[in-house]
Structure 1
Amino acid sequence: METTQGTPQRTAQPLEGRVALVAGATRGAGRAMAVELGRAGATVYVTGRTTREHVSEVGRPAETIEETAELVDAAAGASGRGIAVPTDHLEPEQVRALVSRVDREQGRLDILVNDLWGGDVHLDFSTPKQPNMWEMDLDRGLRVMRLGIESHIVTSHCALPLLIRNPGGLLVEVTDGTEEFNRGYRKPFFYDLAKTTPIRMTHDLAEELKEYGCTAVCLTPGWLRSEAMLDTAFHVTEENWRDACAQAPHFAISESPTYIGRALAALATDPDVARWNGQSLSSGGLAKEYGFTDVDGSAPDAWRYMTEVDQGSSTADVTGYR
């Protein structure tokens, strides 16, 4: 707190006056990114399909966009705040209405985060051998494409005209895996397409945005301890997550959602963020660049670990990786 002639003056937060839209902020990485943007002082519009009155096909009623907005408010302090807007990002009219509201209420958009997904419920990762493309249910596969790709396209198409109104805008495409890691085949087919396409989207939109002084990046967490990963996959909580390593030793490299939130906040507050334009970035890689840590004080580098360490081994050694 600074003082002027004995009067306390509030220190401005780094994103004070900035406006963000986190599309897909109901839970997991999207929720954490919204919270950390709010903590840095931004006004954050949080969207998704699960509200206190309606549950999406993901089927997790415990996490809602209203709760996310409240968490943003709690973290934000004096300048930032969270605004929940129920939105199905596969419905262009709903997205247009959302962007019009942001424009009407704020007159600008500085940060657009496309963290839209929800396709896991249409995929089965429990089988040791994933089916070939032609063996999969086509309707479910195409739904994965819509949720993981079309929703991003619709949102960017509607929101980028507002983002480019002011130089310095940041578009963040969120995916699972770095460009290097995703060069291999991440079966099943529809999942692979859904998670590699945002990397190409970033490459293309970076070319289009740079003439407006704006930046596009693709951002990925590592092995994310999302709500579903904790309670559904491993039946643990964030407090005792290490117990899951008995079932999956390599879960030792996992990270909390806050870690990717801090990665985004570091990007959003970097005055030289344009140096990353078009690149595929990870939470672990950015931690080395910006010096932030996860909630336990460590800095896991999950994608480097998963590339360099034998994932078929029954033992895990994260020494040098977190």
Structure 2
Amino acid sequence: MSTAAVEKTLAGKVALVAGATRGAGRAIAVELGRAGATVYVTGRTTRESVSEVGRPTETIEGTAELVTAAGGTGVAVPTDHLEPERVRALVERIDRDHGRLDVLVNDVWGGDHLLDFDTKVWEVDLAKGLRMLRLGVETHLVTSHHALPLLVRRPGGLVVEVTDGTAEYNGDRYRGNLFFDLAKNAPIRMAYGLAEELKGYGCTAVCISPGFLRSEEMLDHFGVTEENWRDAVAKEPHFAIAESPAYIGRAVAALACDPEVARWNGQSLSSGQLAREYDFTDTDGSRPDGWRYFIEVVHGGRRASAEDYR
């Protein structure tokens, strides 16, 4: 399914992207909007209030405007997904407004600033570690608990758990921080468990991961922009496999538009894998397959370049 083929396929459908302030969540919301959906976008950073992540220029209002500009209808609802009553109120609002929910994307994270890699569990700041688990695991559970009763009213609903790393990659190596490792493996298992619980309702759950994501924060880290991102390859050679957030957005939109999406039920997927399956590309026309590159080249010793995996 090409990028053009998904346009307006989701007209009349309603999506909730939990954690859509920036990065993958923002791009997923925009691409669902491009396919014609009404997209509720949530997060903690608004034009009046900034979350602990501390990036005030990226807001849920900005995301909603991008969704609408892409051809959908963007609705920004400030929501802390660690507060069950606020999530319940969010879902009740969607129910009042539309009486349906067709796509739920659990992309809440916001824990990168808490990370201390290569630090033993007994040396990690315990408060930071537990906060990571709350942000990356508890938020997803709270959201699914409240949103799934609305989603299962109609067959065909889709739940997308977003994480960092595929089951193949994460299953074979430690991610350098026990709390981070748990937080990024949990959505893979959540998708597996939700797939079992949703079978009787004709709904589907999957987990998806971008590759080396050129998020706003990552671009800032390397001191580049989306226009000159390749300048960072000199500092970090593996950045050559990096993909734009739009890539995973297109992957999720392709899943949401696929009438046979149930074939993926319970699976761990990646943007690069789905690009081949659905025939879409990144914004530069390439098809980066980041996780295959890391497994085969970085860790597997294969003599190849990042360009061989684009």
Q: What TM-score, normalized to structure 1?
A: 0.92
The C-alpha deviation readout for 1:207-260, integer Å capped at 9, x for no partner, is 0001100000001000000000001x2010000000000100010000000000
Q: How do 1:182-197 and structure 2 match up within 5 A?
A: 182-183=170-171, 184-197=173-186
Partner residue of 2:286 out of 284, 298, 318: 298
Aligned partners of 1:252 and 1:316 also within 8 Å: no
The structure whose Rg is larger is: 1
Residue 115 of structure 2 corresponds to which residue in structure 1? Answer: 123
Residue 269 of structure 1 corresponds to which residue in structure 2? Answer: 257
Shift of 1:40: 0.2
Partner residue of 1:258 out of 216, 232, 246: 246
Change (3 A) 1:39 1:292: same
Residue 104 of structure 2 corresponds to which residue in structure 1? Answer: 112
Residue 136 of structure 2 corresponds to which residue in structure 1? Answer: 148
Partner residue of 2:164 out of 162, 176, 189: 176
Shift of 1:310: 2.7
Residue 198 of structure 1 corresponds to which residue in structure 2? Answer: 187
RMSD: 1.5
CA distance in 2, matches of 1:283, 1:310: 19
1:155 aligned counterpart, secondary structure: helix
CA distance in 2, matches of 1:227, 1:60: 10
Shift of 1:319: 3.4
Moved beyond 2 Å, runs of 4+: 310-313
Q: How do 1:161-240 and structure 2 match up within 5 A?
A: 161-183=149-171, 184-231=173-220, 233-240=221-228
- Please list every run of 5 or more consecutive structure 2 residues that lacks an aligned counterpart in the other structure: 1-5
CA distance in 2, matches of 1:48, 1:193: 22
2:159 aligned counterpart, secondary structure: strand
CA distance in 1, matches of 2:99, 2:49: 29
Aligned partners of 1:50 and 1:86 also within 8 Å: yes
Q: What TM-score, normalized to structure 2?
A: 0.96
2:161 aligned counterpart, secondary structure: strand
2:167 aligned counterpart, secondary structure: coil
Partner residue of 1:96 out of 88, 97, 113: 88
Q: Percent identity?
A: 73
Q: How do 1:304-319 and structure 2 match up within 5 A?
A: 304-310=292-298, 317-319=305-307
Shift of 1:320: 2.5
Amino acid at match of 1:122: L
Shift of 1:187: 1.1
Residue 25 of structure 2 corresponds to which residue in structure 1? Answer: 30
1:201 aligned counterpart, secondary structure: helix
Shift of 1:12: 8.1
Matched, 1:53 2:48: yes
Aligned partners of 2:241 and 2:307 also within 8 Å: no
The C-alpha deviation readout for 1:292-317, integer Å capped at 9, x for no partner, is 0000000000000000113699x971
Residue 66 of structure 2 corresponds to which residue in structure 1? Answer: 71
Aligned partners of 2:233 and 2:240 also within 8 Å: yes
CA distance in 1, matches of 2:194, 2:26: 24
CA distance in 2, matches of 1:108, 1:116: 22
Higher relative contact order (CA 8 A, sep 6+): 2
Amino acid at match of 2:139: S
Amino acid at match of 1:63: E
Aligned partners of 2:32 and 2:39 also within 8 Å: yes
Amino acid at match of 1:60: R
CA distance in 1, matches of 2:104, 2:304: 37
Amino acid at match of 1:101: R
Q: How many residues align?
A: 303
Amino acid at match of 2:162: V
The C-alpha deviation readout for 1:173-220, integer Å capped at 9, x for no partner, is 000000000012111110000000000011111000011000000010
Amino acid at match of 1:210: K
